[in-house]
Structure 1
Amino acid sequence: MLRLRCCVLNHLLSSPATSPASHLHRLVSAAAPAPAAPPNATFAVEDYLVETCGLTRAQALKASAKLPHLKSPSNPDAVLAFLAGLGLSGADVAAAVARDPRLLCAKLDKALASNVAGLAGLGLSRCEIARIVSLAGYSLGNKSAVSKLHYYLPLFGSPEKFIQAMKFNTNLLTYSLERVTKPNVAFLRKCGLGACDIAKLCAARSRMLTINIDRLRAMVAFAEGLGVPRGSRMFWRALNAVAALREENIAAKVDSLKNIFRWSGAEVGIAFCKAPMVLALSKDLLQSKSDFLISEVGLTPAYIAPRSTLLTFSLEGRLKPRYYVTKFLKENGLLDHDRDYYSAVILTEKVFMEKFICPHKEAAPQLSEDYAVACKGEVPTRFRFSGTKNLQ
């Protein structure tokens, strides 16, 4: 039975050009269980995990605790051969086993081979199947795993997005669709999220598909409470930001924003509505950006709140270099003094170069070079504003 399933599986996964019959024969032979160890032989699981699976000693010690009933290398050997035949490298196999050691106990003929053949039947490539097997581990032995993929692939829109979601939540194939996942998705739709927004949100925060519905309702309430209404185009981003934090940390983040930027509660709501991910920024990072924007650039807290997108840009790679360029141009009469700093920051790199660097090649030939240096975290001499008008 095992050999038959392996043959069927590899026929589905392979093409004559890439997987000749000799490869199939080697895979089938390698995946066949080895003879059971003699009754009196002692099977050292921890040593096997290190020497055969490639785990570190610390990983093996932790993993072996989850394999108390493993007494023989027979089934693990067959599973490892099967994984290698799917195209997983030694490092991939080690990572998969460390993530879920029970994978070594999966029944190859009744679970893995059957389900992997089912994945091939869904039109997934060999590479995609290998990645899903690596992430799903023992849960791929669930009889309903393939049927769940029938639901998840259209939900995410592509195998790649589903695999991305699996990286953050390897339990996607273990939770009940009817009792957990589908009700959560239905609730998100009631909140005004379309299929595309749900796919983007769940690819980044896939635990939203498996958490308790009450917890999901609480996330929605937090997002609404911070000023982002259901149905708005920013709502999925607001949920994405809220989902990155524990409930008890959200209030602390709001207090930090108030203290660091001297914002009122209403201004925090305005800032969050414009750029929800400010909630996910660290206190130190927010403080450094506040120090620069308020103390050096001279922006007011009231100005920053509705332009909180400023806080999502790199301080060293964007905020500072573009400030230095615009100030240099103003100091030397090449740019109107009332030209808005924010309008320079939000431009793409290409457009910024076209509008603020290229037009001044003759008047300030070193500007492009100085800007490139500033983007690396340094401050060129010409950007230190000694008051001189000499552009050379």
Structure 2
Amino acid sequence: MIRLRSCILTHVLYSAPASPISSLRRLLSTTEPAPPVPANPGFAVEDYLVATCGLTRPQALKASLKLSGLKSPSKPDSVLALLAGLGLSSADVAALVAADPRLLCAKVDTLTSNVKGLAGMGMSRSQIAQLVMLGCIIFRCKPVVSRLHYYLPLFGSPENLLRVLKQNSYLLSSNIDKVVEPNLAFLRECGLGACDIAKLCTSLPRLLSTKPEKVRAMAACTESLGVRRGSGMFRKAMQAVAFRSEEKIAAEVAYLKKTFRWSDAEVGIAVCRSPMVLSRSEDTLLRTSEFLISEVGLEPAYIAPRSVMLCLSLEGRLRPRYYVMKFLKENGLLNLGWSYFSIVKATEKVFVEKFICPHKEAAPYLAEDYDAACRGEVPTNFRFA
């Protein structure tokens, strides 16, 4: 019976040419109201959860405690049919019911209305199904569509919005007026434009649902590092310090200063130029320091304003490109206008075009050796005396 209802609902929701919702509305409006279903004296909730919803016996026992008022399979059958119509698998449905047993008692009209609203926002059936899996409790409530309408312009597309909600589904239940909107307003006050705010909140979705006073504290911490509001690095600096204690950040700054032999002024310059160095592990920073200072021969004062190098992969970029640069220099193939920093900051495409391709005849093995170096090997041609 449930399978039949599922097939009917799927056909109604997604058949062409009529829109899914208009077809569903016609079906609901032309169907005569069913008479009240009397309580089924033989209906056992626990058995229903096991046999129909796919729960294990212990899960069913726990879930049944929240469904003491359920006396008939009529409403849960309708809910299950709607979920199946969205393409949810039996395992998905079992997980949903185990997490939120009261979903089986939700008003089908509300669920159908939410499906209509989400489809009207441009969400596909599979995207709606993903959303249900992320927040089934809010999905059975009326405000879900209006909440998503609020977030959609911020993140730009249903795909981006779903990506953010997968990281922080609490956005669906956060207080927009008292928490989310004040946080967004404050970020705008900090000089961040819509694009920067979207990038920041995509990488840190928790930021939107955090208490406004904590977000302000993060901004104050960012400014204490010398990164002023409105600067191009403020967003990245906020991302680097977010949800980290002042003590932890101070310890990381001290480690940078010690490892790269920087003065207070130099470590300040380094953090301002590339705030994400604060998120690098101590081991990575130590190995990078030893390579740049001891092997490449760069001075600490030279590295500080070029600290973006510290966020590049040592094995996949800094070391292999140094080998190529040294090889070309020793063989008289390197234009003197290129510094090591300009070489490592170039995109991979530009690097290959400028430093690999022009030397196919003079060094036909260079591309192969460079690829090997990127894999962590050191080809014979890159072993320098």
**TM-score, normalising length from structure 1?**
0.80
Aligned to 1:172, the other structure's residue is in SS state helix
Q: Retained in 1: the 8 A contact 2:118–2:128?
A: yes
Aligned to 1:256, the other structure's residue is in SS state helix
1:384 Cα deviation after fit: 0.8
Q: Retained in 1: the 8 A contact 2:315–2:376?
A: yes
Aligned to 2:172, the other structure's residue is in SS state coil
Q: How does 1:56-135 map to 2 (within 5 A)?
A: 68-70=65-67, 74=73, 79-89=79-89, 93=93, 100-101=99-100, 104-105=103-104, 107-135=106-134
Cα 1:259–1:145 shift into 2, 3 Å: same
Cα 1:222–1:41 shift into 2, 3 Å: same
Structure 1: stretches of 5+ with no match in the other structure: 387-392
Distance 1:102 1:226 in 2: 49
Q: Retained in 1: the 8 A contact 2:103–2:140?
A: no
Q: Which moved more, 1:260-269 or 1:132-141?
A: 260-269
Distance 1:315 1:104 in 2: 51
User: 1:288-311 deviations in whole A, cap 9, x for unaligned?
Assistant: 222222222222222222111112
Cα 1:313–1:140 shift into 2, 3 Å: same
User: 1:150-196 deviations in whole A, cap 9, x for unaligned?
Assistant: 21111222222211211111011111211111111111111111111
Is 1:302 the counterpart of 2:301 in the alignment?
yes
Distance 1:173 1:48 in 2: 32
Aligned to 2:170, the other structure's residue is in SS state coil
Cα 1:315–1:105 shift into 2, 3 Å: farther
1:148 Cα deviation after fit: 1.3
User: 1:352-382 deviations in whole A, cap 9, x for unaligned?
Assistant: 0111111111221111110011111111111
Counterpart position of 2:155: 156
Counterpart position of 1:261: 260
Counterpart position of 2:139: 140
Q: Retained in 1: the 8 A contact 2:9–2:82?
A: no
Counterpart position of 1:43: 46
User: 1:12-45 deviations in whole A, cap 9, x for unaligned?
Assistant: 852427999xxx9xxx9xxx9x998866857279
Q: Which has the larger radius of gyration?
A: 2
Distance 2:128 2:84 in 1: 12
Counterpart position of 2:354: 355
Q: Retained in 2: the 8 A contact 1:180–1:212?
A: yes
1:212 Cα deviation after fit: 0.6
Distance 2:62 2:125 in 1: 32
Counterpart position of 2:223: 224
Q: Retained in 2: the 8 A contact 1:106–1:112?
A: no
Distance 2:242 2:219 in 1: 9
1:346 Cα deviation after fit: 0.8
Q: How does 1:1-392 map to 2 (within 5 A)?
A: 13-16=13-16, 41=44, 43=46, 52=54, 68-70=65-67, 74=73, 79-89=79-89, 93=93, 100-101=99-100, 104-105=103-104, 107-243=106-242, 245-335=244-334, 339-386=338-385
1:101 Cα deviation after fit: 3.9
Q: Which moved more, 1:195-204 or 1:262-271?
A: 262-271
Distance 2:246 2:104 in 1: 38
Q: Give the aligned residue type for 1:256.
A: Y
Q: Retained in 2: the 8 A contact 1:168–1:206?
A: yes
Q: Give the aligned residue type for 1:370.
A: D
Q: Give the aligned residue type for 1:114.
A: S
Distance 1:333 1:345 in 2: 19
Q: Give the aligned residue type for 1:52.
A: G
Q: Retained in 2: the 8 A contact 1:271–1:308?
A: yes
| Root mean square deviation, CA, Å | 3.7
Distance 1:337 1:67 in 2: 76
User: 1:41-100 deviations in whole A, cap 9, x for unaligned?
Assistant: 572799789x826x9x9xx87x986874245795666545433321234565566667x4
Q: Which moved more, 1:67-76 or 1:132-141?
A: 67-76
Q: Give the aligned residue type for 1:82.
A: L
Cα 1:294–1:206 shift into 2, 3 Å: same
Identity of aligned residues (%): 57
Cα 1:217–1:69 shift into 2, 3 Å: same
1:215 Cα deviation after fit: 0.2
Counterpart position of 1:389: none
Cα 1:349–1:79 shift into 2, 3 Å: same
Distance 2:237 2:62 in 1: 40
User: 1:323-359 deviations in whole A, cap 9, x for unaligned?
Assistant: 1111111122222567411111111111101111111
Distance 1:215 1:297 in 2: 42
1:259 Cα deviation after fit: 2.6
Cα 1:47–1:92 shift into 2, 3 Å: closer
Cα 1:104–1:40 shift into 2, 3 Å: closer
Distance 2:14 2:134 in 1: 21
Aligned to 1:362, the other structure's residue is in SS state coil
**TM-score, normalising length from structure 2?**
0.81
Cα 1:108–1:256 shift into 2, 3 Å: farther
Q: Give the aligned residue type for 2:46.
A: F
Distance 1:274 1:356 in 2: 27
Cα 1:318–1:187 shift into 2, 3 Å: same
Distance 2:12 2:212 in 1: 39
Q: Retained in 2: the 8 A contact 1:80–1:104?
A: no
